[in-house]
Amino acid sequence: MDLNADLGEGFGIWRLGDDEALLDLVTSANVACGFHGGDPSTMHRVCAAAAERGVAVGAQVGYRDLAGFGRRRIEYAFADLRDEVIYQLGALDAFCRLFRTRVRYLKPHGALYHAAAVDESQAAALVAAVSGYDHELPILCAPGSTLAQLAAGAGLPVVAEGFADRNYLPDGSLVPRTVPGALVTAPDQVVARAVRMATEHTVVAVDGSVISCQVASICLHGDSPGAVASAALVRAALIDAGVTPKPFA
């Protein structure tokens, strides 16, 4: 099972989360590409640290919205969003090349992640960007989402993702961050949910129903409270359950 985390989301003198500590625990790093977070120096630093540890680097592309951390939906023309995604991919890939590696996958961030899950135009823009840039590049996204369906239809590799530290609605979507209880913060609950996803391929929704969660990667948010400690517990629990942490890419 792959363990991924959102990293490199600080910029300038501002740091968000402990990138280096998380890179010791995860197998894939979703690195911000300068639009919702990140900057050239941060991308350089995180790519170097990931390459040193053998962690796969993925481009976490987002809306051009530093002030809102990419968590505010923006309406885009198809071509504009496609080209901004290509721009972000190319920027991160350049830093990867400094360390004899490359971007291994793409994952949308924040509001773009949720928009592409249901909005055909925005999902299609992401698919067009990846198809044009590298047709073998996997897209990491929600299983069954519009993005997953369009990417698979275009012949792109699709990797389904689950969230151990987010609550789910009965329809399989995430509880919006604007709603109380969107985050799962108790470490023991995060661990139990991660192990259940990896071994039983299910998750318990907020109403108590058990829903299918067929995923190949589990996300642990780097900006969540106690992210490093939770990630360490999750990794250890997965190994104890006979699940080997391994990058999908």
Residue 46's alpha-carbon distances to 24, 38, 107, 210, in angstroms, are 12, 10, 16, 37
Per residue in 35-74, pLDDT tens?
A: 999 999 999 999 999 999 999 999 999 999 999 999 999 9
| Beta strand ranges found along 62-115 (DSSP E) | 105-108
The residues pairing with 107 across neighbouring beta strands, listed in sequence order, are 60
pLDDT at residue 77, as a whole number: 97
Mean predicted confidence (pLDDT) in 65-92: 97
**Tokens standing for residue 36:** 């919702």
Average pLDDT, rounded, for the chain: 96
CB atoms within 10 A of CB 176: 10
The per-residue pLDDT for range 192-220, each reduced to its tens digit, is 999 999 999 999 999 999 999 999 999 98
Does the pLDDT of residue 166 top 80, yes or no? Answer: yes
pTM of the model: 0.95
| Maximum pairwise Cα distance, the chain | 48
Q: Side chain identity at 22, as an amino acid letter?
A: L
pLDDT tens, position by position, 93-129: 999 999 999 999 999 999 999 999 999 999 999 999 9
In this prediction, residues 76-91 reach a mean pLDDT of: 98
